[in-house]
Amino acid sequence: MKKTLNLVKIGGNIIDDETKLNQFLEDFAQIPGLKILVHGGGKTATEMSSNLGLETTMVNGLRITDAETLRVVTMVYGGLINKTIVAKLQAQECNAIGFTGADANLIPASKRAAGKYDFGYAGDIIPGVIRGEKIAFFLDNGLVPVFAPLTHDKAGSLLNTNADTIASALAIALSEQYETRLYYCFEKNGVLSDMKDEDSVMEELTLEKYRAIKHEGLISKGMLPKLDNAFKALLAGVSSVVICHAEEIGNVLVHHKKTGTELKNNS
């Protein structure tokens, strides 16, 4: 029987709030068994870019990364945010270790080809290249990997890569060794049927229904990468995917309460 692995992705809006981040990390540290944390970037990179006179451009929730912006996100994501999270988890006696995709060649990627938009130094993860057994080495030796949203092109350059995509790709790669459960945690209570109503949480969302509401434009642009990656993971063998509020991660994984939106592959 495979061991269970809980892979949790935390969004930038929680990272930006120190009180909420501290509470989340305290809850995350209490999750029993094998676990991985993937974090987004938050507003710090945008604020630092602004201070340096660099313009931030987003398309469908994704950042366009030129050479100067890459320098900023590398410092912020791979340095300040990642190591701060690791230090805070160590304070909770959770033996975390921080990574970018370049470390130990864990997440190679390719620079996204320019199409309708040129995303610059944005990385697309190459299917099948994540070596799950390398990550399993750290997990099986009592360490908790914490991944920043950065990959690399194997030619010396880091690449800014969507954290939702990294979480999905890691969950898929590790599903060969573990029963992998993926949790996307952010500042909403789940997937909303009405973007203006915070209480309109869908307890379940099928692929068929998602395709319909996506086509109708009923999903916010920022949610699209999250849901696309979530369903990709589900279709590729990840055992379960849940989207929930970051404040509920303890209730979900420590107290086993049902909350948020569970995705279903029954199109």
- More confidently predicted of 127 and 231: 231
Q: Is 162 annotated as a binding residue?
A: no
Tell me the pLDDT tens digit for each residue of 200-215: 899 999 999 999 988 8
Each domain of the chain, given as residue ranges in start order, spans: 3-264
Q: Is the pLDDT of residue 257 over 60?
A: yes
Cross-strand partners of 151: 159
pLDDT exceeds cutoff 80 at 221: no
In 3D space, the residue among 137, 119, 123 whose CA is nearest the CA of residue 174 turns out to be 137
Q: Among residues 172, 187, 193, 189, which one has the least CA distance to residue 239?
A: 172
Q: How much is the pLDDT for 60?
A: 66
| Fold of the CATH domain 3-264 | Carbamate kinase (3.40.1160)
| Residue 63 marked ligand-binding | yes
| Cα–Cα dist 168/164, whole Å | 6
**How far is residue 238's CA from residue 224's CA, in Å, rounded to a whole number?**
19
What tens digit of pLDDT does each residue of 141-182 get? 999 999 999 999 999 999 999 999 999 999 999 999 999 999
| Amino acid code (one letter) for 39 | H
The model's pTM is 0.94
Higher pLDDT, 153 or 13: 153
Per-residue pLDDT of 113-151, as tens digits, reads: 888 888 889 999 988 899 899 999 999 999 999 999 999
Q: Does the annotation place 98 within a ligand binding site?
A: no
| Among 147, 123, 105, residue whose Cα is nearest residue 65 | 123
Instruction: Compute the average pLDDT of residues 214-240.
Output: 88
How does residue 267 score in pLDDT terms, banded at 50, 70 and 90? Answer: low
User: Does the annotation flag 160 for ligand binding?
Assistant: yes
